[in-house]
Amino acid sequence: MHLSSSALRIGIVGGGIAGVALALDLCRHAHLKVQLFEAAPAFGEVGAGVSFGANAVQAISGLGIGEPYQRVADRTPEPWQDIWFEWRKGEDASYLGASVAQGVGQSSVHRADFLDVLANQLPEGIAQFGKRAVRVEQSGDQAEVFFADGSHYQCDILIAADGIKSSIRDHVLQGLGQPLAAPRFSGTLAYRGMIDSQQLRAAYRERGLDEHLVNVPQMYLGLDAHILTFPVKQGRLINVVAFVSDRSHGTPVWPSDAPWVRNTSQAEMLDAFAHWGDAAKVLLESIPNPTLWALHDLEELPGYVHGHVALIGDAAHAMLPHQGAGAGQGLEDAWLLARLLSDPQVLSASPAAVLNAYDAIRRPRACRVQRTSWEAGELYELRDPMVADNEPLLGQTLASRFDWLWNHDLHADLKTARSQLGW
């Protein structure tokens, strides 16, 4: 039980979107003393466009960062503002259907831009840089994190938001008596690039292709490959990701000494989509210097919490990007934790009990999102065992399969958590 006369000390390890969003919310409350530790010398995000569903936009708003998000976010222009993606065949761009997210559509942002606006709102003294966590110890009612520079920090609650390669996840799983979990290679590679939208319009006009394909987020589907496009930077750039999956190995392995992200040649990318139609080819021909990403995820973990230490975001449930849901799940984690920790009743509660309520609520949902993100990739690449390449069924399935994800009731989660805590 925490002594109610003093502030609750909360350490957050990891300065990505989930960690910074959580710190921003928590540092607004007088009964919480928050410190954020980031291994890098400054805040920074790897990657380009990131998509948020209606559930994530709700969490962003609930964390008090809706206004800065809207400043840098992109929306599909009217009259297509509610479209998440249009679905098309890769071979000829013929229309299969659309997924509609009412009132949200394709809400996306450049990762670095979003993190930048969040970090700029953090009060002085909250964030410390050059702090790479190497181990955690727990004794009594305290957690202590030790850093590579020889420093350490003792707190009542430690939140690990340090990504798929988390240095703290092992501590949690060992504490639970569970096997350790390492990132696993999915067998899918992603070619990525950004295209100036005016340049792409000109290229489409020249080839007699419909410019509508530039205006609205698109997903082109094919056997063992798919391509997505959506606008970022207020529509000035088109974010393109072209996925190719090798399903010849049941357990694909990525070489341990190979980087997950590297530069590659346009020729290699074009070769992977040589049999695709003009709409896809013109897209890829507009990316002279693509990067190649080896997609990794985590298996579903048996627990996110051990004692006074909790995992959030990719440290807990790194997933494949096929539902645009990974960052959003980290924000849902942050939202629920922020609502519980910001309640003054937390001062007379057991920190472990609060974290266990978080685990009980968040883990089943996040695991389902992990699982269905993998299944979505199978669906897009015509490998779903029920749907395969049945076009009418594909269109019907894609129209409704994301509703449960987007329409989630965060406030019902909070009510359940508070009930579990007797609040």
Cα separation, 389 vs 372, whole angstroms: 19
Tell me how far apart the alpha carbons of residues 370 and 214 are, in angstroms, rounded to a whole number. 29
- Looking at the structure, tell me whether residues 286 and 332 fall in a common domain: no
Same domain assignment for residues 48 and 117:
yes
Assess if residue 320 is contained within a domain: yes
Q: Does residue 72 register a pLDDT over 90?
A: no
Q: Residue 302: phi, psi to the nearest 5?
A: -80, -10
Does residue 414 sit within a domain?
no
For the chain, give me the number of helices (H) and strands (E)? 15, 19
- For position 290, which CATH number holds? 3.30.9.30
Q: Are residues 68 and 147 in the same domain?
A: yes
In single-letter form, the type of residue at position 76 comes to T
pTM score, whole prediction: 0.95
Cβ–Cβ < 8 Å for 245, 188: yes
**In 236-366, at which residue ranges do the beta strands (DSSP E only) sit?**
237-245, 261-263, 291-297, 305-306, 309-311
**Which residues, including other chains, have CB under 8 Å from residue 371's CB and lie 6 or more apart?**
300
User: Are 291 and 172 contained in the same domain?
Assistant: no
Other CB atoms within a 10 A radius of the CB of residue 161 amount to: 31
Domain boundary among 240, 269, 297: 297
Among 234, 263, 297, residue at a domain's last position: 297
Range(s) of the domain holding residue 285: 185-210+221-297
Decide if 405 is inside a domain: no
- In sequence order, what DSSP letters do the residues of 61-91 get, joined into one string? HHTT-HHHHHHH-B-PPTTSTTEEEEEEETT
Q: Write out the H or E segment, with its range, that includes residue 13.
A: strand 8-13
For the chain, percent of residues with pLDDT exceeding 90: 84
CA trace torsion 279, 282, 285, 287 (10° rounding): -80
State the distance between the two ends of the chain, measured CA to CA, in whole angstroms. 15
Mean pLDDT of 2-13: 80
Mean pLDDT of 341-365: 96
Last residue of a domain, one of 297, 313, 348: 297
* One domain, residues 47 and 158: yes
Instruction: Indicate if 372 and 359 belong to the same structural domain.
Output: yes
Q: What is the CATH number of the domain that holds 178?
A: 3.50.50.60
Question: CA 129 to CA 189: how far, in whole Å?
Answer: 32
The total number of structural domains in the chain stands at 2
**Over the stretch 266-307, which tens digit does the pLDDT of each residue have?**
999 999 999 999 999 999 999 999 999 999 999 999 999 999
pLDDT one-digit tens code per residue, 303-342 = 999 999 999 999 999 999 999 999 999 999 999 999 999 9
Q: What is the pLDDT of residues 160-193, one digit of tens each?
A: 999 999 999 999 999 999 999 999 999 999 999 9
Q: Please check whether residues 117 and 200 belong to one and the same domain.
A: no
What backbone phi and psi angles, to 5 degrees, belong to 343?
Answer: -75, 125
Residue 87 domain flag: no
The total number of residues written for the chain in this structure: 423
- Tell me the mean pLDDT in the region 3-32: 91
Strand order in the sheet with 157-160: 127-129, 32-38, 8-13, 157-160, 309-311, 305-306
Q: What are phi and psi of 304, to 5 degrees?
A: -105, 0
Confidence of residue 421 (pLDDT cuts 50, 70, 90): very high
Alpha-carbon gap, residue 234 to 110, rounded angstroms: 10
Residue 287 corresponds to which tokens in the numbers above?
């990316």
Confidence grade of residue 202 (pLDDT, cut at 50, 70, 90)? very high
Maximum CA extent, the chain? 71
pLDDT score, position 46: 67
Helix 410-421 vs helix 351-380: angle between axes, to the nearest 10 degrees?
150
Q: Over the Cα atoms of the chain, what is R_g?
A: 22
What lies within 8 Å, CB to CB, of 356 at 6+ separation is: 305
Kindly indicate the confidence band of residue 49, based on its pLDDT and cuts at 50, 70 and 90. Answer: confident
pLDDT of residue 68 exceeding 70, the answer is yes
Q: What is the per-residue pLDDT across 356-412, written as a single tens digit (0 to 9) for each?
A: 999 999 999 999 999 999 999 999 999 999 999 999 999 999 999 999 999 999 999
21: in domain: yes
Residues 29 and 68 in one domain: yes
Report the alpha-carbon distance of residue 279 to residue 362 in Å, rounded.
Answer: 40
Whether 330 and 273 share a structural domain:
no
Assess if residue 99 is contained within a domain.
no
What pLDDT, on a 0 to 100 scale, did the predictor assign at position 4?
Answer: 47
Query: Are 256 and 226 contained in the same domain?
Result: yes
Which pLDDT does position 48 carry in this prediction? 67
Q: Are 114 and 67 spatial neighbours (Cβ–Cβ below 8 Å)? A: no
Helix locations, 132-245, DSSP H: 169-175, 197-206, 212-215
**Mean pLDDT of all residues in the chain?**
94
Is 329 part of a structural domain of the chain?
Answer: yes
Residues 367 and 226 in one domain: no
Confidence category of residue 71, pLDDT binned at 50, 70, 90: confident
Question: Do 225 and 332 share a domain, yes or no?
Answer: no
Whether residue 391 is contained in a domain is answered as no
Q: What element of type H or E holds 162?
A: none
